[in-house]
Amino acid sequence: MTPDFGGWGMSRNSARWLGRAGVMLACSSLLAGAQANSAPPPLKIYGSLPGFEMAALSPSGNRIALVGTLFEKRHLFFLDADAKPIQDLLVGEHKLRRLNWAGEDQILLWTTRTTKLGVGFLQDKAELAQVAVVPVAKGDLWWVFANKGTIAGNVQGDYGLVERDGRWFAFFGGVTLEKNSYGQTILTTTAQDLYKVDLQTQSAHRIALREEDFGRDWLIDGTGEIAATLDFRSGGGLWEIKTGNGKEILTGHNGLGGIGLVGFGRSPETLLFIQEDEASGDSSLFELPLGGGTPTEILADQQVSRLFSDPRNRQLLGYEVDADVPIAHFFDARREKVMAGTRKAFPGKLVSIISWNDAFDRLIVETEGTADPGTWWLVDIKTGKATDLGVSYPIDRAEVGAVSMIPYKAADGLEMNGVLTLPPGREAKNLPVILLPHGGPTARDYPGFDWWAQAFASRGYAVFQPNFRGSSGFGPTFERAGDGEWGRKMQTDISDGLAELARQGIVDPKRACIVGASYGGYAALAGVTVQQKLYRCAVSLAGIGDLPKMVATEKFESDNDRTLMRALKRLTGSGRNLKDISPIVFADRADAPILLIHGKDDTVVDYDQSSDMAAALRRANKPVQFITLEGEDHWLSKSETRLQMLEATVAFVQKNNPPD
C-alpha cells in the first residue's frame, strides 16, 4: 500500500498570526459566536475536530510539536522554547493519532486510513497505520515503508526509538510482501516481521521474522538489540517469554488472550508484562528478571489506568491511578514532586500530563472540567511559569456546563456513579435530560470536558453519563459484574441513574432521551426496545442492533479464533440466548422514534448493524431515520462528518424532546 500524500502542504503565512506568548490555537472566527450573550455557541464549535489535538516536547524541551486548528485549517506546528513558531505543515483531513520526537530535528506522525484488503482476506477492510517522518527545518517529509517494494506501506507495531552516535533508529512491525508463482509481489498475510528503520537514510532492514503459528511481540533495549520476545498461540492460549537469544524464561496459559509485554520494568535488568486472571478478570503487572526467575507483581494495590515509560529505553517511570480525578505518580522522588506541584497549580481541574523533556523540568499538561473547555499548558519548572498554548474548544468559559460526579445505587444495591453535565445559566431543577452511556463497554466517563455532552448542555439539557457495571476503572469485580449483563443489569443501571436524578429533582424523567455510540449505541437501542416506557427518543451512533450477527461476524472474520470467541462469550453471556437482548428482535416493540447513524468506513462495528436495524424498524412501521456518514470510521475522525452527526443528533432530540 502506497501512502496518499494528498492534503499535505507547507503553510508559509500562518506563523504571523500566532500569539506572542503562545500559540493560542482554535482562535478562529468561530470564537465570536461562542462569546455571544444570547445565543449558545454554534454546534460547529463542538462538532469540528478539537482546535488543539496533540502535542509533544523534544528531548531537550527546547522544541514543541503540536497539532491544532488556526482559522479553520489544521496544522502541525513546530515552536521553539519560548513557544514562538519555527514552521508549520498543513495536515488537512488526515486521521492523526499521535506524534513523538526522534531527537531534536524530526517528528514521527502517526496516521491511520481505512483500507480495502482485497481478495484472500476474511475482512473487507481494515484501519491501517502509517508513519510520516517530518523534519523540523530542512528536507521533505517521508513515509516509513513507502515505495520499498518488498514491504507493505502500513506499520503494524511500534517497538521504540534508539539513538546511536547521534543517529536515530525506529523499530516497527512491518508486513513483508511475497511473490506468487507469476513473480508478482502480493500481500498474503497481516502478520508482522520486525524492521529497523534508519531515520537518516530512510532504509529499512528486517531483523526478526514472524512466526506463522502464533503472534509475536518484541522488546527492544536501549542499544537496539532484541531483549525479549513474547509468543502467544491464540487457539490454545499457551504463551512463552524468551530472551533475545532464544532462552525460555517463563511460560503460561491464558485462554482469553490476556497477556502482553509492556516494556522494561523499574530497572533495565527486568521486563514488565501484564496478565489478566481468566477467572476474576483482574489485570496484574509483573516484573520479570531478564536472566530468568520468579515474576514479582507490582502496583497490586493500585487501580492503574496508564503507565509512563522513558521514551528512550521503555523503562517504567510511573503510573496513573484511575479515579474520578486520575492522579499521575512517578517512582523518582523529584519527578513525583514536580507532578504534585503541577497539579496544585490547577486546583479543581482534571490535570493530564501529555509530554515531558528528558530533564523533567518542562511539561505539557492539559486541564479540563467546569469552566474549562480543555486548556493546554507549557509548564516550566525552573521559572515557575505556565504558558497557555491554546484550547481544545474555543468556548467562553461561562458557556461551559458545570460537571460533577453523582453517586447512586442500582436496583440490586450495587454502588456506582455517573457524570452529570448541567446546562449553563439554568437552575438544576426538572431539566430535560439526555442519558449518554459510554462505549466499550469496558471504559468509563470522567468529570472533564466532553464535547458531545457539552453540546447538548448548551441547548438546555442535563446530560448524564452513567458508569454502569462492566465499566473499567472501578476494579475487576465491578468490571466482571457486567459479564453476561448486556440488555439486563447493565441496561437497568442506566435507567437507575435516571431515577436517582429524578429523585433529587434535578431532571424530569418524562423528558428523557437516550443517546450513545458503539456499545452506548446498543444501550440506546435497547432502551426503547428491550426496555419500555422510559425515553422519548433514542439515537444510536455505530451501535449494535443484532447480537447474534455480531458474534457470527466476529467468528468469520477471525477465522473462528477460539481466544476471541471465548472472550465474547464471557462478555455477552454464556449459555444465554442473544436474541433475548437484541434490539432488532424487538423492533416491533420500539416505543419511541429512533435515529441511526453509522460511518460507511467503520471497521469495528459493521455498517450492516445499523442498516439492518433501520430495515427492521421500517418493516414494523416504527418512526426511524438512518444517516450514513460517507468516508467516516468508528471514531468520528473527520470534522465534516462529525459535525454532520452532531447537527443531526441535536435536531432529532430537540424535535422529540424539546428543552423548553
Beta bridge partners of 386: 379
Instruction: Judge contact between 543 and 525, C-beta under 8 A.
Output: yes
Write down the pLDDT at residue 114: 86
Long-range CB contacts for residues 616-620, cutoff 8 Å, separation at least 24: 616/545, 616/584, 616/587, 617/587, 617/590, 619/587, 620/587, 620/588, 620/590
Do residues 431 and 366 both lie within one domain?
no
Write down the pLDDT at residue 34: 41
Is the omega angle on the peptide bond into residue 441 within 30 degrees of 0, that is, cis? Answer: yes
Do residues 375 and 486 both lie within one domain?
no
| Residue 616 within a domain | yes
Instruction: Judge contact between 64 and 83, C-beta under 8 A.
Output: yes
| Residue 313 within a domain | no
Do residues 522 and 587 both lie within one domain?
yes
Write down the pLDDT at residue 558: 63
DSSP, collapsed to helix, strand or coil, labels residue 605 as coil
| Residue 302 within a domain | no
Distances (CA, A) of 258 to 171, 274, 280, 542, 597: 24, 8, 12, 26, 32
Do residues 458 and 555 both lie within one domain?
yes
Do residues 471 and 365 both lie within one domain?
no
Write down the pLDDT at residue 117: 73
Alpha carbons 36 and 426: distance in angstroms, whole number: 17
Check residue 461 and report its DSSP letter: -
Write down the pLDDT at residue 27: 45
The pLDDT tens digits for 158-209 are 999 999 988 999 999 988 877 766 666 666 666 789 999 999 999 999 999 8
Write down the pLDDT at residue 271: 95
| Residue 282 within a domain | no
Strand residues in 310-442 grouped as ranges (E):
316-321, 327-330, 350-356, 362-369, 372-380, 385-391, 403-409, 415-421, 431-435
Write down the pLDDT at residue 554: 74
Do residues 475 and 581 both lie within one domain?
yes
Write down the pLDDT at residue 21: 36
| Residue 340 within a domain | no
Alpha carbons 421 and 460: distance in angstroms, whole number: 11
Do residues 611 and 478 both lie within one domain?
yes
**Pairing of β 95-101 and β 106-116:** antiparallel
Do residues 427 and 370 both lie within one domain?
no
Q: Which are the contacts of 391, defined by CB distance < 8 A and separation ≥ 6?
A: 25, 26, 51, 52, 373, 374, 375, 376
Residues of the chain scoring pLDDT < 70: 1-37, 118-122, 180-190, 212-213, 556-565, 574-576
Alpha carbons 625 and 621: distance in angstroms, whole number: 12
Write down the pLDDT at residue 405: 97
| Residue 196 within a domain | no
Write down the pLDDT at residue 122: 65
Write down the pLDDT at residue 127: 83
Alpha carbons 306 and 353: distance in angstroms, whole number: 11
Beta bridge partners of 206: 195
- Structural domain that includes position 75: 1-118+133-142+351-357+359-400
Do residues 426 and 545 both lie within one domain?
yes
Q: Output the domain CATH number for residue 424.
A: 3.40.50.1820
The pLDDT tens digits for 209-260 are 877 667 889 999 999 999 999 998 877 789 999 999 999 999 988 877 788 9
Do residues 521 and 372 both lie within one domain?
no
**What pTM does this model have?**
0.90
Task: Please tell me the total count of domains within the chain.
Answer: 2
| Residue 500 within a domain | yes
Do residues 376 and 473 both lie within one domain?
no
Q: Which are the contacts of 37, defined by CB distance < 8 A and separation ≥ 6?
A: none
| Residue 228 within a domain | no
Do residues 392 and 519 both lie within one domain?
no
